[in-house]
Amino acid sequence: EAYWSIDLHNLLHFLMLRMDSHAQTEIRQYATVIGEEIVARWVPFVWEAFRDYRLNAMRLSGPETELMRLLIAQDQPAVKEWLKEHGWVSLKDGKKSREAKELEVKLETLGLRLP
């Protein structure tokens, strides 16, 4: 017989880490069962808020926020210049950096794209 003692805050943090897309598939499945079958039944309002404000939320870095301002203003030349100045697009071959690729995934979620 085994017991596990944890407070709700730390349980949700544990689930956040284990349900992340970078976690192993088996670990994500395990955390999903804990969340959807145990936490959701035990504290349904907390689970709903956790899903809305943590699990399905999107976090932007400072540079991403700066670039989003330009995208929202629909200033395509400024966006292209910003990408080059900050090294997110190579001047030689136009290859995108890791940061640019990560932002593209976030933009795709929002139905947007880089020029």
Residues tagged active-site = 18
Query: How far, in Å, CA of 14 to CA of 18, rounded?
Result: 6
Q: Give the orientation angle of helix 98-109 with respect to helix 62-72, to 10 degrees.
A: 50
CB contact set of 76 (below 8 Å; sequence gap of 6+)? 115
Count CB atoms within 10 A of the CB of residue 26.
Answer: 8
- Report yes or no: 58 and 106 within 8 Å, Cβ to Cβ: yes
